[in-house]
Homo-oligomer: A and B are copies of this chain.
């Protein structure tokens, strides 16, 4: 198996990732702006499948219509030349100060209307470029203080926005689904829909619930100390993994956006193991930031590292699952029994109550004495991850 990426691996990158200039809360840009066309060319050379963008990544905020058209035309040519797809696009509702209190849930109604228009405008472009997923990260939909936002009312506004956008996409006949990206905090003190769970719950209340799913990001869940593969498993269970943002994070702190594999390597392994055994067919999208210590050589090395680490982990996960010793260890840990329904076919509560072996005659102490054999299994996983089997 090869660890050299090809378009078949479906690796995609945001324009804003390799294009990040390195501005952080305490420092100015360390790298010049990157021409989107160069990004397209370089990523294609590295083996990527596609590219994604926020409206303002591609078309600077405030561009005239003519500038806009020229930029789009040039970008399309570059995509065609390089053979890169645009499977996803999204909107920047956070950089300009007008969004300082959010977009869809800003306390100011006119700003909410403006935000909706900005999104619709870019949805049109996304559809034109062939994107089938539209990501919504509500990074500024939140608050730092308790009375500044009535959360229930803000959720009403958020629902109103997604319902309208769903209407619009349907009315235009776009083949497009929405993917909400949760994040617990930063840049706001607390953000609405802080985790995969909160966003999954929210979606159920939407008019176009079937058209709305998730775009979870590794680091965002880990910023809440949550197990990312567990969150993805639940999203898959609900049929709502529409897209995914891969990167790295070293624990609960500011949003690091390290390259994939950096940060929690073991979770990265289990994530790849899960994705590759699931029916998720979408892009493996990297949403990372090459550290601001790096020049462009470092930027491309970092991008290449994301793909390389995914492929190494994929190789290891497949070997893990194929290993007869692992399969035996999984049986010893009774994963096969977990897969068996708890109730017999057609069994009712009354039937269960009538089964004395389930309670009255159940040997609790004997059952308690069984070891689960999880440590042997986990060491086998470690051996595969580290390549010593």
List, in ascending order, chain B residues with CB within 8 A of A231's CB. Answer: 198
Q: How far is the CA of A152 from the CA of B118 in the complex (A)?
A: 37
List, in ascending order, chain B residues with CB within 8 A of A266's CB. Answer: 146, 262-263, 265
List, in ascending order, chain B residues with CB within 8 A of A168's CB. Answer: 349
From residue A380, how far is it (CB to closest CB) to chain B in Å?
Answer: 8
How often does this chain occur in the complex, in copies? 4
List, in ascending order, chain B residues with CB within 8 A of A371's CB. Answer: 293-298
Decide: A107 and B388 in contact? CB cutoff 8 A. Answer: no
Q: Which of B116, B164, B386 contacts A386 (CB 8 A)?
A: B386
In the complex, whether A125 has a CB less than 8 A from a CB of chain B is no
Question: Are A254 and B254 also in contact (CB < 8 A) when A101-B372, A378-B145 are?
Answer: yes
Chain A, residues 326-346, CB within 8 Å of chain B (1/0): the string is 100010011101111111000
Which residues 335-364 of A sit at the B interface, judged by CB distance below 8 A?
A: 335, 337-343, 348-350, 352-353, 355, 357-359, 362, 364
Decide: B110 and A362 in contact? CB cutoff 8 A. Answer: yes
Given contact pairs A190-B226, A294-B374, A385-B386, a sample of 9 additional A-B residue pairs in the complex whose CB atoms are under 8 Å apart: A27-B99, A100-B372, A108-B337, A145-B375, A156-B341, A195-B226, A198-B201, A298-B376, A302-B375
Give 29 CB contacts A-B under 8 Å: A22-B100, A28-B95, A30-B97, A107-B338, A108-B370, A113-B355, A113-B362, A117-B358, A146-B229, A146-B269, A148-B372, A148-B378, A150-B233, A150-B338, A157-B342, A184-B225, A189-B253, A194-B226, A197-B198, A197-B199, A197-B200, A200-B201, A251-B252, A265-B385, A294-B375, A298-B374, A305-B375, A308-B379, A386-B387
